[in-house]
Structure 1
Amino acid sequence: MDTELAEEQEYLRAARKTLTQMLDHARHRVATGETIAGDGYTAEVLGRLLRSRAKELAEEPDGPLFFGRLRFGPDAGDHADQQYYLGRRRIGLGAEMPLVIDWRAPVSSRFYRATATDPMGVQVRRRYGWSTSPAELTGYEDEHITSGLPSRYLTEEIERPRVGPMRDIVATIQADQDQLVRADLTTSTCVQGGPGTGKTAVGLHRVAYLLYAYRERLRRDSVLVLGPNPAFLRYISAVLPTLGEVEVEQGTLDDLLDSVPVRATDAAAAAAVKHDVRMAKVLRRALYGRIRPPAEPITIADGSYRWRVPEEYLARLVVSVRREAPTYGLGRERLRARVVGLVQRQAERRVGALSAAWTQRIGRSKPVKDLLEHCWPRVRPVDLVAELLTDSDAMSAAADGILTPAEQNAIGRRVKNRWTLADALLVDEVAGLIDHPPGYTHIVVDEAQDLSPMQCRAIARRCRYGSLTVLGDVAQGTTPWAAGSWPEQLGHLGQPDASVTPLTTGFRVPAAVLELADRLLDVDVPRTRSYRTDGWVNCRHTDDLIAGVVSAVRDALRYEGSIGVITADAAAERVSAALTSVGDPRVNTIPASLAKGLEYDHVVAVEPADIVDAEPRGTNRLYVVLTRAVSRLDVVHSRPLPAALG
């Protein structure tokens, strides 16, 4: 084994040397590539591509260059008797056989999917052990596929302490996760996964795979990752760069809805109405209710000619365009074109063929403009929404039979420019009715169970001709409008036929933590089975809550890894101030409302009863809080625990 380990270490040195040569070559191309382009635009595009490639290669050059090796048997077809090293990126010069193949290459799927019952031609799957800072190869473990024995290195990697941002999972992807990662670009899928099942990692690795497999189709800004809040996005921000993808757009839904300055907050009753899917009908009625029949014929002066279009002809055009149900903006332009077409047919009977310049001039003439403003007026989304919210008569006309009078009153207000986040959704809905927004080829939506129907519609508008990866857990729904089931939510997202795939093996949360948290579940979802038997749960009752939290944190500091102190939002500032005396950067105080998607080796959950009482779905919020622990959980309380916890 010592001899073979030395050979593996020599292979590592050769791979590092090749990677250095690749980086030098990329930097040389950056230095020379921009100067050989034929024009300024080409030079800019080429330079950006070359710099991106150089940056990609420079990411973690001293990190582990490979995490596994496949050795095939004689019956493996094209791969018979071959062996391949797998890493986060391809390492090789030119067209020669690479020293390390990309984990996204087709043959790499066998590393994740080969089993004792279906070895897929693989004889031996080797995993490697690494030290850190810098990464050095310390050992290896061979899995003889037909034996079916578990891997020690796999278990150690899964249970390794969590410090810093989220890591990739290329070394530990499981077969069911790999199938989701490698799904076709045209496939929309929903991943229902309990805590620690890796659904977020699956979504991010799917992005990396799609950018590898469909590089030419997925140009810059064609892929979007949507997270629930900025803290979550910061946590996952390092995953894609470590996988070699450095130019993927990541943001929150609020980042997309920047049409109005948000300076106010809705009351709960108003927010509930504005997020309700019925608001889409109200807004459509308000917008298309502005379309009117013509009041009179039009006459257009054209040199010595006068072209007249009768009122009844114009009325038929308005009706026919409306019946075709185009977007509002397209309908207006379609009406303009058809009016011009009627005039053009008259003119050509008298003067013959006419030029494109003539049709443009007629389309911009005052009679045509006046007709459009009367029949199909130009509308600014902010103006329509402002009128609807501040004019009770306009609201009544648009919402009659859709919203109750009480609901109409709940969203009405006196001030036009006091915009809220929910108002931004309404403005976006109207903007989408007028013209389709720029779209994405693929969107990953995390924590999708918390989206309202109107938020789902905003995402669907940006993915009309693309696909979605929807990630979430119905059991972790915490918003007032959280989804009760996936089929309805997928319908709002514009993907009613998307399949729902459950992930039921938890790799992050120990069984002891899940056992406690599962007592809070009151929804019908597949239960998560933990892969991990380590970890523990400790409940501490104390008369002095703050002192108990400080004591729990000091005890937690004896262990390796990150520490998250999660408390009801109202107490977060007070708890954080008390922990300044601890003075350790591993300790983070998090309001419960921002904990979703995060993970810590050690969680101190502060006063569960306060977390439950803070909001209507407080029990779901507590479930989220408890399952942020990936090794140890301390529950510190002075009040009685919620009844479900026993």
Structure 2
Amino acid sequence: MREDAEALDIRDVTANWVNAEVLQHQIDERIKALADLSHTPLFFGRLDYLHAPGADVAEGAEGEKFYIGRRHVHDVEGDPMVIDWRAPVSQPFYRASKKNPMDVALRRRFGYTGGDLTAYEDEHLTDPTEAEQTSKLLQQEIERPRVGPMRDIVATIQPEQDEIVRSGLAGSVCVQGGPGTGKTAVGLHRVAYLLYAHRERLARTGTLVIGPNASFLHYIEQVLPALGELEVKQATVDDLVAHVEVRGVDDPAAALVKGDARMAEVLRRALRSHITLPGEGVVVVRGSRRWRVPSYELEEIVRELMARDMRYGAAREALPQRIAHAVLVQMERAGEAPDDRVQNAVARNAAVKAVVKEVWPAVDPAKLVLRLLSDGDFLAEHAEGLLDDEEQKTVLWAKPARSVKSVKWAAADAVLIDEALDLIERTHSLGHVVLDEAQDLSPMQYRAVGRRATTGSVTVLGDLAQGTTPWSTRSWDEALHHLGKADAVVEELTAGFRVPTDVITYASLLLPDIAPGLTPVESVRENPGAVEVRPVAGAGDVVAACVEALRNEGSVGLIAADARCEALGAALAEAGLAYLAPGEETTAEARLTLVPASLAKGLEYDYVVLDEPAAVVDGEPDERTGLRRLYVSLTRAVSGLLVTHTAPLPTQLT
């Protein structure tokens, strides 16, 4: 198929060079999508149907065999050899069971090692003499060591995951899932499915995956290309609102107020305060004639635009046209026959422009936020009844900045500017947005994401127990309200495929303190994993623990409080132990990663050495946030967890 695409000759099939460029780009993209992935098998399963799909069972039409794979493959005649995992005929591979065989006589799973076919396993779904068994190949694939970036899970998608993956484009979905439940993979595979089922629509409107940081995005960036999807954009929330350079850092109290949804109304009031009612009429000169629009008529026009609650910029563009229309009405009454060209000319008249500039002036969103955070009187006027005096003092800058360029903007300020910009002009909406690690977003950040999907749908992924910001989400209903998707369906994943039983049981000791009432994850892995808590004398013992972990197959993560990473890095270097930074791809030669606890979210390692749990907790503003950060760090281990400590452990873990 790739060679066929490379051999296409388009010299005589295009009308001009522009068409030729476009067609060649499409062919190049097709060739990229068909790239050979040597360690990724094209098919991983087979379905033997009892009857032909769509045939009447009573007719007894003989069924067919379908090989199921990551992408569609056809032969030289165009007949399918491998069926895309997203096709309807592939669905029983994930959903069929002995109780509901879905017309499948046999389901075969293939096992691969390094891209080579090494095993297969059959399930006779309609054979009453064969008991339903847990798939050994499925377990092996789930427990395979992690080296390199995140892998796709098309061979191991479970029925409850498949139901979310295949849910329709029109509806938004929120997935609450504990560590290792596969929520990130479900979100990525849902994007791949939607692109398959609604390709033309999403090609027009676009798709976006939003992650918590660049390291996380780098870790997941190969999943969709492995499924043949190359056009999905990835970004962080900070990337979305990068209208100014962020150089400053807010203290938690200020960030908490700035991230509160009440700030949206403060901004709206501040923006609308720039509108003033006209004090006098306007006179438009056209040739030898003078046309006057009285002040009361101008006031009616302005009030009507204000009542419609249009975007500030759209209303400002409409105002001169409304004034021009009032002039045209007078012209028609006087016997003239003006057309659209005359109306546009009147709208551009200097007198009309002067009125618009005075009544509805242009506003720069960054300057609006600058004034709100610098001018105490201006803030007090528009925050009345919304923010109390203490909250206003919290967000006001101690030293007011003179210009937009001189400000050391913080991340929360950029979100406010994005909100102000949307009040002025509508933000472009995408067809579908996936928001991962959503529990850490502030209400204002949710609004920033939501306005990028006003006409589309969203897939929200997160875990309330892993919220590690002062403004972390308390309930999904609240989050979905701020997103503008209050009607989204909330699904919960509780089966753990990544974290083994012993590790998740140990980490769940923290749940009563960090997320009371949340259902603990139940690991479905056969291997219970290994947990060891080891008192140590210092950094040398931690390095020794890493050496010990590296004797096992797979990746190793040394996770530590941010403040301790520099010293641990020096100790590793002194011992001649090379290590990677979070997000850098692990290889057979470089398997150890030094991970600051603040960047551990979303990452996974076969073996984790967790340094000094008490320091992880103490590194956060309060104990609850610290315990949540510790919960995240503990649950990064896929096979084994070794906790090293010199200080006493948090009481919850003793």
8 A Cα contact 1:76 1:120, kept in partner:
no
Structure 2 residue corresponding to 1:611, chosen from 613, 616, 627: 616
Give the stretch that moved more between structures: 584-593 or 144-153: 144-153
8 A Cα contact 2:52 2:64, kept in partner:
no
Give deviations 1:498-523, integer Å, cap 9, x for gaps. Answer: 01000110000000000000010132
- Seq. identity, %: 50
Distance 2:77 2:473 in 1: 50
Structure 2 residue corresponding to 1:97, chosen from 79, 85, 89: 79
Aligned: 1:273 with 2:257: yes
Distance 1:185 1:35 in 2: 39
Distance 1:439 1:315, change over 3 A: same
Aligned: 1:404 with 2:377: no
Aligned: 1:642 with 2:650: yes
Give deviations 1:309-334, integer Å, cap 9, x for gaps. Answer: 11111111111111111111111122
2:2 maps to what in 1? 23
Distance 2:154 2:110 in 1: 13
1:628 maps to what in 2? 636
1:558 maps to what in 2? 551
Aligned: 1:379 with 2:363: yes
How many residues are treated as equivalent by the alignment?
A: 620
8 A Cα contact 1:261 1:419, kept in partner:
yes
User: 1:366-445 to 2 correspondence within 5 Å?
Assistant: 366-413=350-397, 414-415=400-401, 416=403, 417-445=407-435
Give deviations 1:380-436, integer Å, cap 9, x for gaps. Answer: 101111111111221111112211222212222212422111111111000000111
1:198 maps to what in 2? 182
Aligned: 1:540 with 2:517: no
Give deviations 1:466-510, integer Å, cap 9, x for gaps. Answer: 000000001111111110110000000110010100011000000
Give the stretch that moved more between structures: 61-70 or 488-497: 61-70
Give deviations 1:357-387, integer Å, cap 9, x for gaps. Answer: 2111111112211111222111110111111
Structure 2 residue corresponding to 1:109, chosen from 91, 111, 129: 91
Distance 2:172 2:203 in 1: 19
2:58 maps to what in 1? none
Paired AA for residue 550 in structure 1: V
Distance 2:285 2:76 in 1: 69
2:24 maps to what in 1? 47
For the residue of structure 1 that corresponds to 2:199, the secondary structure is coil
Structure 2 residue corresponding to 1:571, chosen from 559, 564, 573: 564
Distance 1:575 1:118 in 2: 54
Paired AA for residue 466 in structure 1: G
Distance 1:309 1:611, change over 3 A: same
Instruction: Give the gaps of 5 or more residues in structure 2.
Output: 56-60, 579-588
Could you tell me how far 1:36 is from its partner in structure 2? 3.4
2:305 maps to what in 1? 321
For the residue of structure 2 that corresponds to 1:598, the secondary structure is coil
8 A Cα contact 1:34 1:44, kept in partner:
no
Aligned: 1:464 with 2:454: yes
1:11 maps to what in 2? none
Paired AA for residue 32 in structure 2: K
Distance 1:354 1:40, change over 3 A: farther
1:487 maps to what in 2? 477
Structure 2 residue corresponding to 1:254, chosen from 238, 246, 261: 238
Distance 1:300 1:171 in 2: 72
Structure 1 residue corresponding to 2:117, chosen from 117, 127, 137: 137
2:594 maps to what in 1? 589
8 A Cα contact 1:59 1:242, kept in partner:
no
Paired AA for residue 19 in structure 2: T
For the residue of structure 2 that corresponds to 1:338, the secondary structure is helix
Give deviations 1:171-198, integer Å, cap 9, x for gaps. Answer: 0001111111111111100001011111
8 A Cα contact 1:221 1:248, kept in partner:
no
8 A Cα contact 2:210 2:236, kept in partner:
yes
Give deviations 1:508-553, integer Å, cap 9, x for gaps. Answer: 0000000000010132222211011311101001122x12211111
Distance 1:641 1:430 in 2: 46
Paired AA for residue 595 in structure 2: I
Distance 1:80 1:33 in 2: 42
2:582 maps to what in 1? none
For the residue of structure 2 that corresponds to 1:261, the secondary structure is coil
Give the stretch that moved more between structures: 426-435 or 42-51: 42-51
1:149 maps to what in 2? 133
8 A Cα contact 1:612 1:619, kept in partner:
yes
1:288 maps to what in 2? 272
Distance 2:614 2:333 in 1: 82
8 A Cα contact 2:43 2:67, kept in partner:
yes
Give the stretch that moved more between structures: 212-221 or 318-327: 212-221
For the residue of structure 1 that corresponds to 2:73, the secondary structure is coil
Distance 2:547 2:501 in 1: 24
2:581 maps to what in 1? none
Distance 1:447 1:370, change over 3 A: same
For the residue of structure 2 that corresponds to 1:171, the secondary structure is coil
Structure 1 residue corresponding to 2:40, chosen from 63, 69, 76: 63
Distance 1:432 1:115 in 2: 49
Paired AA for residue 185 in structure 2: A
8 A Cα contact 2:427 2:451, kept in partner:
yes
Could you tell me how far 1:77 is from its partner in structure 2? 4.6
For the residue of structure 2 that corresponds to 1:36, the secondary structure is coil
Distance 1:75 1:41, change over 3 A: closer
Instruction: Give the gaps of 5 or more residues in structure 1.
Output: 1-21
Distance 2:552 2:99 in 1: 40
Paired AA for residue 518 in structure 1: S
Paired AA for residue 144 in structure 1: H
For the residue of structure 1 that corresponds to 2:10, the secondary structure is helix
Could you tell me how far 1:221 is from its partner in structure 2? 6.7
For the residue of structure 2 that corresponds to 1:462, the secondary structure is helix
CA RMSD of aligned residues (A): 1.5
8 A Cα contact 1:181 1:202, kept in partner:
yes
Could you tell me how far 1:353 is from its partner in structure 2? 2.2
2:222 maps to what in 1? 238
2:583 maps to what in 1? none
Distance 1:155 1:612, change over 3 A: same
Distance 2:369 2:257 in 1: 14
Paired AA for residue 119 in structure 1: P
Distance 1:43 1:76, change over 3 A: closer
Paired AA for residue 121 in structure 2: E
8 A Cα contact 2:33 2:228, kept in partner:
yes
Q: Which 4+ runs in 1 deviate beyond 6 A? A: none
For the residue of structure 1 that corresponds to 2:461, the secondary structure is strand
8 A Cα contact 2:466 2:632, kept in partner:
yes
For the residue of structure 2 that corresponds to 1:354, the secondary structure is coil
Give the stretch that moved more between structures: 476-485 or 394-403: 394-403
Distance 2:205 2:124 in 1: 43
Could you tell me how far 1:447 is from its partner in structure 2? 0.4
Paired AA for residue 300 in structure 1: V
Distance 1:516 1:211 in 2: 39
Give the stretch that moved more between structures: 480-489 or 143-152: 143-152
User: 1:331-342 to 2 correspondence within 5 Å?
Assistant: 331-342=315-326
Could you tell me how far 1:95 is from its partner in structure 2? 6.5
